[in-house]
Amino acid sequence: MVNFVHDETINEIKITNPATITEEVEKIEAIMIKSMEKIVPDVAIRTKATLMDRWYKEAEALKDEQGYIKLWQPKGE
Cβ contacts of 35 within 8 Å, gap of 6 or more = none
Domain that holds residue 22: 3-39
Look at 10-19, 27-36, 65-74 and tell me which has the smallest mean pLDDT.
10-19
8 is a domain residue: yes
53 is a domain residue: no
* pLDDT of 41 above 70: yes
- Confidence band (pLDDT; 50, 70, 90) for 69? very high
Residue 38: left if φ>0, alpha if ψ -120 to 50, beta else—which one? alpha
17 is a domain residue: yes
* pLDDT of 60 above 70: yes
CA atoms within 13 A on the CB side of 32: 19
61 in Cβ contact with 70 (< 8 Å) = no
Q: Provide, rounded to the nearest whole percent, the portion of the chain with pLDDT above 70.
A: 99
pLDDT at 77: 64
Point out which residues pair with 5 in neighbouring strands.
8
Q: Rounded to two decimals, what is the model's pTM?
A: 0.82
Rounded Cα distance between 27 and 77, Å, is 29
- Residue type present at position 43: V
